[in-house]
Amino acid sequence: MLDIQKIRADFPILSQTVNGKPLVYFDNGATSQKPQVVIDAEVKYYNEINANIHRGVHTLSQLATDAYEVARGKVKDHINAKHAHEVLFTSGTTHGINLVSNGFASILKPGDEVVVSSLEHHSNIVPWQMLCEKTGAILKVIPINDNGELIIEEFDKLLSEKTKIVTVNHISNALGVINPIKYIIDKAHAVGAAVLIDGAQAVPHLKPDVQELDCDFYAFSGHKMCGPTGTGILYGKEEWLNKLPPYQGGGEMIKEVTFEKTTYADLPHKFEAGTPNIAGGIVLGTAIDYLNEIGFDKIHEYENELLEHATKRLNEIEGIRIYGNTKNKASVVSFNIDGIHPYDVGSIIDKLGIAVRTGHHCAQPIMNFFCIPGTIRASFSFYNTKEEIDAMIDAVKKAQTMLS
């Protein structure tokens, strides 16, 4: 059982007021709040060991390098990667996906096929469209049903020997639907295709085991799991990372440079050109420690309670429609009020201290499927409470009355 008040005390931002009301932060799908231990760790880095890494013999450089590589090891253990060099530091999920799609430009040929799903964030659509335009490959799309679930039978039909990579999200950012990624990975591998999983929305709620999943790539962001902005991870199987060309050229990613030829560094440095977000990488390790100390089983159980409570309370309001009606969901409720634009609702409840996300959530194909301009999305974290959900319900009712 989580001690919610003790946990909330770890997050200084939660104690403030917004527009004269206690802050209710339900925009965790966009970014999570940061506990004091994470904030302190960032300050500690700059106060005590700020230096560039992997390049200096002086003490501060060695201390910073050691801390950075310890953080890499924490990520490796957290996702159960086989090797630490399969863990690449990135600026976020988008960076990781673009790294892989750029690499596949040297692999794909005209007529090859890339499979994505209708549930994807734009960051897992646009890079693959760009890749197909560049290579002559063909983009195939897994459709969804009215509950926001992937139609797996249609996915099975899309697969063939032409399929070279399948890329889907673990959890939909717009609907909270948890996809059957183990099935997708196994079926894709059966036709010889690689698989990239966008785990941005999954890692705040669960611990992915990349060896058990057997995915070839798994990308996620640090800022959605209590870590700093501008941080992320791309896991890649060693064989694939060795096969792909470097994404960027510069310092750190080289073995030897001459004007005649440059040879590249070994993993993971081959893909980590230039000075990285050193503080961010180190502090991401702190955030992972914090979450593991709470325990993902407890987080999952409690967030499910929040989801059930929010769903029940919203369904009590006449004229509410929830999108993503499936049992296999993360703690996200995406909804609309009949006849009212989601932006208008979001603006009014913000005046009451309630922070939700409104719009298409960088998932316009989903909104087009449902023929709507967007939704109101409330995304919950383990530091939220049922009382906050009740406050949101009251605010939504007021907005409905004012706008009807």
Catalytic residues: 362
Rounded Cα gap, residues 310 and 399, in angstroms: 17
State both tokens at 360: 């298409």
Rounded Cα gap, residues 15 and 90, in angstroms: 31
State both tokens at 219: 């990308």
From residue 299, alpha-carbon distances to 4, 219, 340, 355 in Å are 11, 21, 34, 21
- In one-letter notation, the amino acid at residue 50 is N
Other CB atoms within a 10 A radius of the CB of residue 245 amount to 13
CA-closest candidate to residue 335, choices 300, 375, 291: 375
Other CB atoms within a 10 A radius of the CB of residue 74 amount to 20
Residues 94, 95, 99: CA angle, nearest 5 degrees:
115
Strand 320-323 to strand 163-169: parallel, antiparallel, or no bridges (unpaired)? Answer: unpaired
